[in-house]
Amino acid sequence: MPLLKFRIYWEEDDLIYRDIDILSSQTFMDFHQAILKAYDFDGKHSARFFESNDRWERLRIFSSEVLSNKKGAAELSMVKTPVSALVSVPDQKFIYEYDPAKKWTFLVELIGVSNDVDPKRSYPTCTRKEGMAPMQYKPGGGSGMLMEIEEKYDLGEDEMAEGFGSEGDSEEGGSEESYSESDF
């Protein structure tokens, strides 16, 4: 039974990715759950895989909401479809979309096929994590935590020119506080 190795990039930053090994007989639902776990997302929302070409165009759809495959259906089931059924080229591509309201989008690319299945390992499994995963929910409903930290420490133009802020500098005519060892 072949082992498929996929790289899953976050669409907004290709330096953030996860490598996942999955058995060829496992389903897109198994793959979906592995991606959620690798990116620390909850499983509260629906998801879809799109078969894709080299230009990342969305083709055939596989949905978490469809329970069975029906002939001529617009969407196929992630539960019933094994990943290997759609791997037709060495660099097969898929687009994974989680939470239709937020449209978390990940680009999925087959990067390897091997027969090195470790019988002691549970598949699918995340074998590599690069970059900090995006936060699924923004704290307090406002902007993301990284943005808040950036704004808190945002330097004005004068500080950027010198490279230092003016905090703690004493001005002429002002008093400078002094401390002795007993103050600490």
- The answer on 114 and 30 residing in a single domain is yes
Is the pLDDT at 128 greater than 70? The verdict is yes
Does 171 or 83 have the greater pLDDT score?
83
- The answer on 34 and 103 residing in a single domain is yes
Per-residue pLDDT at 57: 93
Average pLDDT over residues 141-166: 49
**Do 108 and 96 contact (CB within 8 A), yes or no?**
yes
CATH at 58: 3.10.290.30
Q: Does residue 31 sit within a domain?
A: yes
- The answer on 89 and 16 residing in a single domain is yes
Q: What is the distance between the alpha carbons of residues 78 and 32, in angstroms, rounded to a whole number? A: 8
Per-residue pLDDT at 74: 62
Write a three-state SS string for the chain: CCEEEEEEEECCEEEEEEEEEEECCCEHHHHHHHHHHHCCCCCCCCEEEEEECCCCCEEEEEECCCCCCCCCCCEEECCCCEHHHHCCCCCCEEEEEECCCCCEEEEEEEEEEECCCCCCCCCCEEEEEECCCCCCCCHHHCCCHHHHHHHHCCCCHHHHHHCCCCCCCCCCCCCCCCCCHHHC
- The answer on 96 and 26 residing in a single domain is yes
- The answer on 142 and 66 residing in a single domain is no
The boundaries of the domain holding residue 154 are: 135-165
pTM of the model: 0.71
Say what percent of the chain tops pLDDT 70. 70
